A and B are shown apart, each in its own frame.
Chain A
């Protein structure tokens, strides 16, 4: 018995030590769609973040003589009815759309994780919090979002200025209507984790609940949170563009991709490119984010990894 013991540890030592994230990345790399998604999403982020410093035309600059131009060397995507450069507007719009997507996703993930962890960890709060989640799931979300945006737009715009006000409103509205799935997934994971031995061990040495959650529970529910965060970006971007498309999003001089598409619909007959560019960018972003989420789900699942 005692002689056999060192053998497995020697075999383990022979392999170079690898971190968990290295393993995840190795698995992620095998998913072709996910790699492609990462590439496209990275390109879009670069386009919106670095693009404006290379393409210095002001997206709000009105050149009325150069209006309704088609695609050309001066204006790669043409100009709109006021002569504003659509290429520059796409960059500016992408910044806002991505910012809305990321912030709203962060808000909804934080809310969902908080509610999920609390509901899973503290038995007394589980009932009320899960009823609340069910209640939110039963709300007709798109109509309520529309109502919220319509009703509170004016007062928030007055208090924070038209741009910050509407940004806050849309981010908060999307955030508080999309946390439910995360909360449910996290609660399920926490409930399962609570029965594991390491939690029992930690509790038996007197770990207080706060440290228990932060050090032992949260790191272990990170993978489902990451996956739903990725998918959350996609839904947030779609919701924002849908609101803008219905004319209830950002004001016209503050372009987002959804708003650009909405504005382009009126000029569908003359130049359809004005609708197609924003649409293609929204779709590519969402598609790439969804593929990344798919790949991440596979990569973070230890049952699939290494196969």
Chain B
């Protein structure tokens, strides 16, 4: 298992480097000029100096190498400095965002709490709803609960989040006026009333995303339970007189959770990247919204870094899912 993990980690490195290169090339091929939105009155030599200051005059491979070094060598040092109070990266040049004129990672750290708050909680809620629904649906296959459950999950899976989000706003903010339609990030939770306001502004985005995640995961849970319910070991467990609850909730559930856990792990990167639309609908200024504004502002270092962070998350959680699968299921042997 350990050698397998190590081997996967080692192959992940060239993959990540290749991905970063692809992203860089894509941005490089693009015809947009990062100085295009500057006023035309700027004299040519000043414009030239601005390009130099942004590092744009260097050839492409030099810029790529510089970005890579800053990402894998300097930024981790900055993080260490923050934790330990050392001065490893003092005076080193960090990845700078063109639109904010500030280090990219400082802005990312500012945005992560909003994303984790809304999208992370939505994922947890979604998983929490999906598992019981999937279990009951499978156990009572073709009952009315199962029929409704599968239909609702099909609907939740098919209706795009930008429509559910807008629909929720129409119903609960415009018509009923229960919840605010815009997520207020400046709200600080200091006392009970501000906590209530925080909860009320989180309900809608969390509900939208949780519905979508729950629809997907409950389908997996149901089919995985169905696969296991007809196995021989279930009959054996019943035959030796175990209580029905123990059979279903211990024997079957444990075995059917194995593939579901990997699906849940594979979904974690979407917490960060996939919620772009929901963040846009409810104006949550998290990572997804940061990416959209960076794309619109032609802020290439920010786009490059964010896209690479997302790719890194996907690869990490693919690895995590495979390792969990190997640990949970003794039939899987990677070596």
Residues of chain A whose beta carbon lies under 8 Å from any beta carbon of chain B:
33, 134-135, 137-140, 142-144, 146-148, 150-152, 154-155, 234, 238, 241-242, 245-246, 248, 258, 261, 265, 268-269, 272, 275-276, 279, 282-283, 286-287, 290-291, 294
CB–CB B273/A279 < 8 A:
no
Residue of A144, A152, A238 touching B160 (CB-CB under 8 A):
A238
CB distance from B216 to the nearest CB of A (A): 12
CB–CB A151/B27 < 8 A:
yes
Tally the A-B contacts, defined by beta carbons under 8 Å. 118
Complex A-B: 17 CB contacts under 8 Å: A138-B318, A139-B19, A140-B273, A140-B307, A142-B274, A143-B306, A143-B307, A146-B295, A242-B277, A248-B295, A275-B167, A276-B170, A279-B160, A282-B163, A283-B158, A287-B159, A290-B154
Query: Chain B's interface: helix, strand, loop or mixed, by majority?
Result: helix
Question: Roughly how many angstroms separate A99 CA and B29 CA in the complex, as a whole number?
Answer: 28
Residues of A within 8 A of B3 (CB): none
Q: Does B30 make an interface contact (CB < 8 A)?
A: yes
Residues of chain B whose beta carbon lies under 8 Å from any beta carbon of chain A:
15, 18-19, 22-23, 26-27, 29-32, 151, 154-155, 157-160, 162-163, 166-167, 169-170, 174, 269, 273-274, 276-277, 280, 291-292, 295-296, 303, 306-307, 310-311, 314-315, 318
CB–CB B158/A286 < 8 A:
yes
CB–CB A268/B169 < 8 A:
yes
| Contact A282/B160 with A138-B318, A147-B27, A148-B26 known, Cβ cut-off 8 Å | yes
| Contact A268/B26 with A139-B19, A279-B163 known, Cβ cut-off 8 Å | no
Residues of A within 8 A of B295 (CB): 146-147, 150, 248
Question: Roughly how many angstroms separate A135 CA and B174 CA in the complex, as a whole number?
Answer: 44
Residues of B within 8 A of A241 (CB): 160, 162
Residue of B19, B27, B160, B310 touching A283 (CB-CB under 8 A):
B160
CB–CB B311/A138 < 8 A:
yes
CB–CB A290/B158 < 8 A:
yes
Question: Roughly how many angstroms separate A242 CA and B277 CA in the complex, as a whole number?
Answer: 7
The listed residue with most B CB atoms (<10 A of its CB), out of A33, A151, A282, is A151
Residue of B277, B296, B303, B307 touching A245 (CB-CB under 8 A):
B277
CB distance from A32 to the nearest CB of B (A): 10
Residue of B30, B174, B311 touching A152 (CB-CB under 8 A):
B30
CB distance from A292 to the nearest CB of B (A): 12
Question: Roughly how many angstroms separate A248 CA and B295 CA in the complex, as a whole number?
Answer: 10
Question: Roughly how many angstroms separate A230 CA and B174 CA in the complex, as a whole number?
Answer: 36
Residue of A nearest to B29 (CB): A151
Residue of A nearest to B171 (CB): A272
Question: Roughly how many angstroms separate A241 CA and B163 CA in the complex, as a whole number?
Answer: 10
Question: Roughly how many angstroms separate A134 CA and B155 CA in the complex, as a whole number?
Answer: 30
| Contact A150/B158 with A135-B18, A155-B31, A246-B277 known, Cβ cut-off 8 Å | no
Residue of B19, B30, B291, B315 touching A151 (CB-CB under 8 A):
B30
| Contact A279/B166 with A143-B291, A150-B296, A151-B32 known, Cβ cut-off 8 Å | yes
